[in-house]
Structure 1
Amino acid sequence: MRMTNRIMENNSLYNINNNKILQDKLSTQMSTTKKLTRPSDDPVTAIRALRLRTSVSELTQYYEKNAPDADSWLSITEGALSTNAEVLTDLVKKAGKAANKEKRVEDLNILLQEMKTLRNEYYSTGNVDFAGRYVFTGYRTNTTLTFTEEDAAKGDSYNMTEPVKLKDFDTTSYTNMSTLAGLTKSNYNDAKYNKVTEQDVTNSTIHRIRLSYDKLDSAARITIGTATVDAGGNEVFKDIQGIKSAAIQTAASAEAGYQQITAANEAGNVAMAYIPETGELLFSDKAYETLSKAVKDDTEISINYTKSEWEKGDLRPEHYFRSTVTKADGTKTKFNFEADVNDQVIEYDVGYNQTIRVNTMANEAFSHGLNRDIEDLERALSSLQEINATMTDLSRLKKELTEGTADYEKVEKQLDAATKAYNYARENIHTKFENSITSMQGYLDDTNIAVTDNGTRSSRLALISDRLMDQKTTFKTLQSENEDADIAEVTVELTSSKLTYEAALMATGKILQTSLMNYI
């Protein structure tokens, strides 16, 4: 077969074009530093590249975004909890100082004022946020833990159901000093004080459940029993055997409520008194005995009540209880009727099928009990200050009177009664300060547990972050090996290709200069 000039020309152009294509491919690899320019270049490598890119992208999201965000949340939580631990430590110390019987009334007042300041700091710490999201409020990250001044002024009415158990009941000391009320140096001769004697002053111990709030709505009904939520989302109460909600009497004042239960104890009757002013539900001895027999220690007892008067720093009920809020315009909103308020766990994805919890719930770190303890101490100190002023006034008056006169004997009896009342009141506040040491140590223990849990999550996150970093490095290496071109090798091949291309052009030019006509 004769090799014509056309055949040689076509073959030369074909080979030169292939060489040019190779040169272009190598030039592209050189400029992009990638092996492939299109999936069809190597389908197997392309598929593997897609998988590796997805893995690297996910690991980058976990390592550079999710893990740092989770760590920031945990760090902010740790800071707030550590602050509270310091506050509670100071509260325990001050309560210990105040429990000293040698302290004067003025000293107790100073210590209590310092404790109130620490209490305010304790609750304000609960409003810390991470990028505008409140960290202690579960899923309601757009709602503060406590009422702000603006929120408190709205006058929203909350009807809430508070769960308690028998262990939450306590006893409180009540001193009946009503016959001494208002007695001063200037009015000791009034008729109502003529027959005051030491025997008029009595002290008794009363069972109570201290609700989470005071200044409750006196016009609203209080209900006690076992509560469930029906299919329609409505709360259904069932009375406890022997304890009827309808039998609860609302007292006009704390004094009236305590006197009512004292009288019931003396008569051996079942009686319950609700004191909206102080947020207490009192039980006579017989009523408490009946309740103790009707329920087990672990039985959840539900108490439903209403509160509309709020102050800055009050814990918002929706973060703790099943509640219905009625706004000023009449609109109602239900909270926690469909799920447990304590199950609002926030988790971050920090790995393949791996999450980490970042939030600490309000009930784990912030207790209503601290505020209620301080309020109890305030009332006890107020009572002590009042009777101390009366006793001091009468002591001075007695020195001014002549011994043996009718006025002298009257004041002496009044002073004896006041002294007895003072001793009871002093012992009462001493006991309350001693009890507050235990309760505040309990709040501190709860806070320390929360700090430990949060720290454990932080430690786990640090380990996960280290592993993510290693995984990201490994997958990036695999991705590079799969996709990236060897620049040194490509450079050599490209140089070789250029030389080959130029040589082919020169050779082809020489060959095509000769034709059959040169041999005829």
Structure 2
Amino acid sequence: MRITNNMMINKVMRNLNNNMLRLDKLQTQGLTTKRINRPSDDPAAVARSLRVKSDISQLTQYGKNVNDAISWLETTELAAKQTNDALVRVRELMVQAANGPLTVEETTKIQEEIKELKAQIISFGNSSYGNSYIFSGKKIDQPLFDKEGNYLVNLTDYVNPAYVDDKKNIQVANFENIGVNTLGFQLFEAYEKPVVYSEEFPLNSGDTITLQMEDGTPPVTVTLVIGSPEGVTINQDGTEATVTVGPPGNVEEQMEAMINGLKEMAEVYGSPLKGYSFEKYEANEWDGTQVIDGVLRIKATPTDATAVDTRQVAAVWETGDITFTPDTTFTFMGVTLKIEAGASSEITNVTKDGATVVVDGTFDSQMLVDAFEAIAQEKGSKIAGFTFEADGAGLRVIAPENSGVLYNKEIFGGTLGIDNDAVDQLRVAGDAEKKTVVAGQKAGLIQLFDKLEDELLRGNNEEINELLGQIDAFHQKILEVNSEIGAKVNRMDMVSNRVADETINFKKLLSQLEDADMAQVYTDIIREEAIYRSALSIGARIMQPTLLDFLR
């Protein structure tokens, strides 16, 4: 093969260029200290490094979350400690007041100090971290109390974590959230009382309403008498009352009289109704339509404690329009209806697990209602207690009250033609068990201070001595909160250490993927420089003068 001078020159230039590319890559690594400076340097390592960088960024955010949470918890812990210190001082003053007669001047001084301590506790309740009020749940832009110690926000704590409430959670890892805030009522309410829903009472003369506010407390009875003179008669301990109202006929007036009778009983010292407010509980249909049936329903809500409400409303689903198709099925909650065509419409083969609906050609959703109602009557039926209603060309299902938490899950099924755009619509969701306080309610601890001030003015040493037990209950509650906060801080410290360790490990891995071995890089640069110089020298010898050089 004939080798031309031009071929030799091109080969020398190509080799010199390759050498310069290697030298450029090494110089870039030396300048950046990185082994990978572009994706083409190591595509597999680049993909891994991107994932590692994402993990490091995530861990960095988790670290910030943890540090913020620790600061939040420490602020909460300080406010709780200061509140407890104020309670300890109040207890000292109460013991001093209960142990002997005081002069007017001494009583005034104690009262003034208690008043100042109350104002200070209200201030502790409005403690903030940055611009966020720490005891106001998720309503961090609103203070917890007004200057009188009344709540300015509604606070709710659901037992079931599936429900959204005022607890604030922070994410500290994938699929790991930790609650960091303390709701105001956890600190300023020592007692929990249930919300009481009465039974339904027709209003006839001689009818008696019986309420039991809590297990272990005596029942309270209120008897309606239609006659004159109108008024309320209450026994000494506030457990029995007779409400006399005018001539029959004015149902609203009778209802109002019964409610007012309960309110008056709540004012009697020692009454089990003490600390409750009463109102008519309006029964509603599933769609919110008020039930007007002349029946009295009573709702009793605690005003001096955390309200615990376990009542649940019915959950309601609708199918949308149903199109009749023979030889199909329709399922609900594991119960199956077989839809068949026949000479006459009827429901057959009814068991606890299903039935057969025979249609003569004219389909009506009422047939599904009748079939499900028949199944619900069977012993062991899964749908016992459910209510079924025809809704135009569709079906409405109403769950029984207190049937548990019902989610918007796929509840209808089968091959019968259902409007897919409307099916599985959960129209009303049942409430889960929750603890609440409402705006306008005065904090239990502040109510205790108000009562203490009143008893001091009366010089009622025995009652002051009785109030010591309530102070101790609040003291115990605050200790429980402090213990819970301390446990959370300890957990956050462990999470912080874990995040720091994981960050170090990922940064080490990233360094192994991206960072250059600088000693090796410098060695390679020296070697490539020597090779380049040698290549230049060799190229100069190969490219000898040609005839053209002499013709110039």
The two structures have a TM-score, normalised by structure 2, of 0.51
Amino acid at match of 1:303: A
Aligned to 1:144: 143
State the partner residue of 2:462. 431
2:37 aligned counterpart, secondary structure: coil
Q: Which residue of 1 aligns with 2:206?
A: none
Task: Give the superposition deviation at 1:305.
Answer: 9.6
**What does residue 177 of structure 2 align with?**
none
What secondary structure sits across from 1:36 in the alignment? Answer: coil
Distance 1:114 1:247, change over 3 A: farther
Counterpart position of 2:17 = 17
Query: How do 1:393-412 residues align onto structure 2 when only pairs under 5 Å count?
Result: none
Report what 1:281 is aligned to: 267
CA contact (8 A) 2:137 2:155 kept: no
Query: Please, what is the CA RMSD of the aligned residues?
Result: 4.6
1:373 is displaced (CA, Å) by 2.3
Q: How does 1:5-84 map to 2 (within 5 A)?
A: 5-63=5-63, 65-84=64-83
Q: Is the 8 A contact 1:270 1:287 kept in 2?
A: no
Mapping 1:98-247, distance limit 5 Å: 98-148=97-147, 225-226=196-197, 240=211
- Distance of aligned partners of 1:491 and 1:284 in 2 relative to their CA distance in 1, 3 Å threshold: closer
Q: What CA distance in whole angstroms lies between the structure 2 residues aligned with 1:495 and 1:51?
A: 34
Q: Do the aligned partners of 2:30 and 2:518 also contact (CA within 8 Å) in 1?
A: yes
Question: For residue 342 of structure 2, what is the aligned residue in structure 1?
Answer: none
Q: What is the SS of the residue equivalent to 1:75?
A: helix
Structure 1: distance between partners of 2:136 and 2:272: 40
Q: Is the 8 A contact 1:95 1:437 kept in 2?
A: yes
> Does 2:539 align with 1:464?
no
Higher percent of residues as helix: 1
Match for residue 477 of structure 2?
A: 446
CA distance in 2, matches of 1:73, 1:49: 34
Task: Confirm whether residue 369 of structure 1 aligns to residue 451 of structure 2.
Answer: no
Which range is displaced more, 508-517 or 119-128? Answer: 508-517
SS at match of 1:23: helix
Q: Is the 8 A contact 1:56 1:476 kept in 2?
A: yes
How many residues are paired up?
333
The answer to whether the 8 Å contact 1:274/1:282 transfers is no
Query: Which one-letter code corresponds to 2:37 in the other structure?
Result: T
Say whether the 8 Å CA contact 1:270–1:286 is kept in structure 2.
Answer: no
Structure 2 letter corresponding to 1:16:
L
Which residue of structure 2 lines up, in the alignment, with residue 303 of structure 1? 300
| 1:303–1:517 Cα change, 3 Å | closer
Matches of 2:466 and 2:97, distance apart in 1: 11
2-structure distance, mates of 1:159, 1:55: 39
C-alpha displacement of 1:341 = 6.2
Residue aligning to 1:498: 529
Relative to structure 1, the CA distance from residue 117 to residue 245 in structure 2 (aligned partners, 3 Å threshold; closer, same or farther) is farther
Query: Structure 1 residues 516 and 8 mapped into 2: Cα distance closer, same or farther (>3 Å)?
Result: farther
Structure 2 residue matching 1:143: 3-state secondary structure: coil
> Are the counterparts in 2 of residues 73 and 130 from structure 1 also a CA contact under 8 Å?
yes
Instruction: Check whether the contact 1:270–1:285 (CA below 8 A) recurs between aligned residues.
Output: no
The alpha-carbon deviation at position 264 of structure 1 amounts to: 9.1
Matched, 1:483 2:514: yes
Rounded Cα–Cα distance in structure 1 between residues aligned with 2:238 and 2:79: 46
Q: Give how far 1:7 is off.
A: 2.2
Q: RCO higher in 1 or 2 (8 Å CA, sep ≥ 6)? A: 1
3-state SS, counterpart of residue 138 of structure 1: coil
Equivalents in 2 of 1:148, 1:7: separation in Å? 96
Cα 1:16–1:320 shift into 2, 3 Å: farther
Alpha-carbon distance change, 159 to 456 in structure 1, aligned in 2, over 3 angstroms: closer
Q: For the Cα contact (< 8 Å) 2:308–2:435, is it kept in 1?
A: no
Paired with 2:86 and 2:467, the residues of 1 have a C-alpha distance of 14
Task: Rate the CA distance shift 1:227–1:51 in 2: closer, same or farther, 3 A.
Answer: farther
Change (3 A) 1:148 1:132: farther
Query: Please, which runs of 5 or more residues in structure 2 have no aligned partner?
Result: 157-188, 190-194, 200-208, 213-218, 226-230, 244-257, 275-297, 310-429
Cα distance 1:515–1:107, how it changes in 2: closer, same or farther (>3 A)?
same
Aligned residue for 2:197, secondary structure, equals strand
Mapped partners of 1:122, 1:67: distance in 2: 28
User: Is 1:270–1:284's contact at 8 Å kept on the other side of the alignment?
Assistant: no
8 A contact 2:222–2:242 mirrored in 1: no
State the percentage of identical aligned residues.
28
CA contact under 8 A between 1:19 and 1:497: conserved in structure 2? yes
| CA deviation profile, 1:413-438 (whole Å, cap 9, x unmatched) | xxxxxxxxxxxxx5xx1122112211
1:82, distance to aligned residue in structure 2 (A): 0.9
CA contact under 8 A between 1:135 and 1:141: conserved in structure 2? Answer: yes
User: Using the alignment, how far apart are the partners of 1:118 and 1:484 within structure 2?
Assistant: 61
Partner of residue 380, structure 1: 455
Q: Taking structure 1 as reference, are residues 482 and 278 closer, same or farther at Cα in structure 2, changes over 3 Å only?
A: farther
Distance 2:9 2:301 in 1: 101
Q: By how many angstroms is 1:239 displaced? A: 7.4
Give how far 1:339 is off.
6.9
SS at match of 1:303: strand
Structure 1 CA distance, aligned partners of 2:110 and 2:431? 44
Shift of the 476–247 alpha-carbon distance from structure 1 to 2, 3 Å rule, reads farther
1:67-114 deviation per Cα after TM superposition (whole angstroms, max 9, x unaligned): 111111111111101101101111111111111133345433322221
Q: Give 3-state SS (helix, strand or coil) of 1:282's partner.
A: coil
Take 2:270 and 2:484, find their aligned partners in 1: how far apart are those partners?
A: 41
* Aligned twin of 2:93: 94
In 2 relative to 1, CA 468–279 (structure 1 residues): closer, same or farther, beyond 3 Å?
farther
Gaps of 5+ in 1: 162-211, 213-223, 229-237, 249-255, 289-300, 307-314, 323-336, 344-361, 385-425
What's the offset of the Cα at 1:160?
12
1:137 to 1:339, Cα distance in 2 relative to 1, 3 A: farther
Whole-angstrom CA distance in 2 between matches of 1:11 and 1:466 = 60
Letter of the 1:477 counterpart: K
Confirm or deny: 8 A CA contact 2:222 2:241 kept in the other structure: no
- Aligned residue for 1:359? none
Secondary structure of the corresponding residue to residue 36 of structure 2: coil
Cα distance in 1 between the residues matched to 2:447 and 2:273: 24
SS state at 1:142 partner: coil
Larger mean CA deviation between 454-463 and 277-286 belongs to 277-286
| Amino acid in the other structure paired with 1:512 | M
Separation in 2 of the partners of 1:44 and 1:464?
32
Change (3 A) 1:510 1:284: closer
Whose strand proportion is higher, 1 or 2?
A: 2
CA distance in 1, matches of 2:154, 2:67: 40
Corresponding residue for residue 331 of structure 2: none
User: CA 1:367–1:455 in structure 2 vs 1: closer, same or farther (change >3 Å)?
Assistant: farther
Query: How much has 1:439 moved relative to structure 2?
Result: 0.7
Separation (CA, whole Å) in 2 of partners of 1:264 and 1:503? 112
Distance 1:117 1:262 in 2: 38
**1:436-468 deviation line (CA, Å, top 9, x unaligned):** 211111111111111111111111111111121
| AA of the residue aligned to 1:14 | R
